[in-house]
């Protein structure tokens, strides 16, 4: 009897170790806090130039479209790097890749304020985008491996909510600091916060329990890539990510120029404070994850896109109240749709879910960089009404794709 008890205890311990995390488990708290810190650092760094675009335009004597390259360069580099970096995570591990990624990006963020010209700043942003690529797709793969499928939608929603708070914090802090010290002080301040979050992430996130390292060959990678590109449902989800992010970034990029001019004439800090509407995204992303687990992803996805279209339309009148209301509605709809679409990709992928998530995010950030810069052409030629028309057209593509997924 004395011999059998340890044996039973070992079996029990072994079974516990092979169980994926549930929402109420103690280890899940460390996962949530760790990925929250990583998401905050990543998206604060990625979007810190957005409220500073008018300041960058004035400082370097650049047009709105040229100044927007400080934003687009980072997102485009991230899009290019996200697939090879996600493949690297299959070999080196999710946690290690994310840790190196977020620490390197924070250090580059501290270098960016030293840029003597816009081209140099854009070059630093390219390097920063490459560094940041290690967090988004790898974090989704980490959650898919470590969290029980029944709680994955909720966990993914909370991760997206952390991303929203990161984007919100970076924009607000940058806006306040820029008004008192210029864009260089703003960028340095946000980067210092990101470095602190990166250290917290490295300490908090538990090591993977279900990750199995592999060394995929080029042939294997191309084979899995072909399968993840052959699924028409996945292709529609990739298109939705492209269109969603393209419209969202277009609105936020050029609304800063609109609000800094007549008839609004808002200061940089006030424009930065308007990004508190991102809190609507933290709420909607968590709610959308729960609703998708219950009512079905397709319905929640389509409703989220439709809400985003309504929000863009609300920004048309020259009324600050309407603009703020429109931003709240747009942000809630966008994050709800993005939360559902990004979570759906990993579950639908026939092979290599990390690669499928990387493909989604690749198109997502290409939408940010390409459509985000193209929006500047529409803004320069037709003002805000033409910019809104461009964003609504992108969201209409996303809505049509979401509805078609029901078939």
d(CA 211, CA 86): 13
Angle CA(101)–CA(194)–CA(253) in degrees, nearest 5? 95
**CATH of residue 278:** 1.20.1250.20
Domain total in the chain: 1
Question: What residues pair up with 21 in beta bridges, in sequence order?
Answer: 147
Per-residue pLDDT tens digits for 340-391: 998 888 778 777 777 788 889 899 999 999 988 899 899 999 999 999 999 9
User: Helix (H) and strand (E) counts for the chain?
Assistant: 17, 0
pTM (two decimals): 0.78
The verdict on residue 301 lying in a domain is yes
Q: State the average pLDDT for the chain.
A: 86
User: Is the distance from CB of 71 to CB of 126 less than 8 angstroms?
Assistant: no
pLDDT, greater one: 3 or 203: 203
CA atoms within 13 A on the CB side of 383: 8
d(CA 342, CA 364): 10
**6 CB-near residues (< 8 Å, 6+ apart):** none
The verdict on residue 336 lying in a domain is yes
Per-residue pLDDT tens digits for 293-343: 778 889 999 999 999 999 999 999 999 999 999 999 999 999 999 989 988
The whole-number pLDDT of residue 10 equals: 42
Angle, helices 372-404 vs 232-260, to 10°: value is 140
Q: Which helix (H) or strand (E) holds 17?
A: helix 4-17
Question: Cα(first)–Cα(last) distance of the chain, in Å?
Answer: 60
The verdict on residue 7 lying in a domain is no
One DSSP character per residue, 117-166 reads SHHHHHHHHHHHHHHHTTTHHHHHHHHHHHB-HHHHHHHHHHHHHHHHHH
Burial label for 140, CB within 10 Å (0-12, 13-18, 19+), is buried
CA atoms within 13 A on the CB side of 151: 17
Q: Could you give the 3-state DSSP secondary structure of residue 266?
A: coil
The verdict on residue 212 lying in a domain is no
The verdict on residue 173 lying in a domain is yes
Question: Which residue carries 């929640």 as its tokens?
Answer: 300
User: Is the distance from CB of 204 to CB of 220 less than 8 angstroms?
Assistant: no
Range of the domain at 278: 26-205+218-404
The verdict on residue 8 lying in a domain is no
User: Is the distance from CB of 308 to CB of 333 less than 8 angstroms?
Assistant: yes
The verdict on residue 185 lying in a domain is yes
The verdict on residue 211 lying in a domain is no
Please, which pLDDT band fits residue 9 given cuts at 50, 70 and 90? very low
């Amino acid at each position: 009897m004395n011999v059998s008890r340890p044996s039973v205890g070992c079996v029990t311990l072994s079974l516990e170790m092979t169980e994926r995390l549930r929402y109420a488990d103690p280890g899940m708290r460390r996962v949530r806090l760790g990925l929250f810190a990583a998401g905050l650092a990543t998206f604060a760094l990625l979007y810190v130039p957005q409220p500073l675009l008018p300041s960058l335009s004035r400082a370097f004597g650049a047009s709105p479209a040229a100044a927007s390259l400080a934003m687009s360069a980072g997102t485009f580099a991230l899009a290019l790097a996200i697939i090879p970096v996600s493949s690297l995570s299959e070999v080196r591990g999710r946690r290690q890749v994310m840790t190196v990624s977020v620490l390197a990006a924070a250090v580059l963020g501290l270098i960016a304020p030293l840029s003597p010209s816009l081209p140099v700043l854009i070059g630093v942003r390219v390097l920063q985008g490459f560094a940041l690529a290690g967090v988004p797709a790898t974090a989704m793969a980490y959650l898919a491996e470590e969290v029980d499928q029944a709680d994955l939608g909720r966990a993914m929603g909370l991760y997206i909510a952390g991303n929203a708070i990161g984007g919100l914090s970076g924009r607000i802090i940058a806006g306040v600091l820029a008004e008192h010290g210029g864009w260089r002080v703003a960028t340095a301040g946000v980067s210092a916060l990101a470095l602190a979050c990166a250290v917290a992430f490295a300490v908090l996130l538990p090591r993977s329990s279900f990750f199995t390292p592999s060394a995929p060959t080029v042939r294997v990678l191309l084979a899995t890539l072909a399968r993840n590109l052959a699924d028409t449902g996945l292709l529609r989800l990739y298109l939705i990510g492209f269109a969603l992010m393209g419209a969202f970034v277009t609105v936020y990029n050029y609304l800063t120029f609109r609000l800094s001019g007549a008839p609004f004439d808002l200061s940089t800090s006030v424009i930065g404070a308007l990004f508190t509407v991102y809190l609507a995204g933290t709420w909607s992303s968590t709610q959308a994850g729960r609703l998708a687990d219950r009512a079905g992803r397709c319905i929640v996805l389509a409703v989220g896109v439709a809400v985003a279209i309504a929000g863009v339309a609300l920004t048309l009148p020259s009324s600050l109240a309407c603009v703020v209301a429109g931003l709240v509605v747009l942000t809630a709809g966008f994050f709800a749709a993005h939360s559902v679409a990004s979570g759906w990709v990993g579950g639908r992928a026939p092979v290599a879910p990390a690669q499928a998530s990387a493909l989604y995010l690749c198109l997502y950030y290409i939408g940010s960089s390409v459509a985000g810069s193209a929006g500047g052409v529409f803004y320069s030629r037709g003002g805000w009404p033409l910019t809104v028309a461009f964003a609504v057209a992108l969201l209409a593509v996303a809505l049509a794709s979401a509805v078609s997924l029901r078939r």
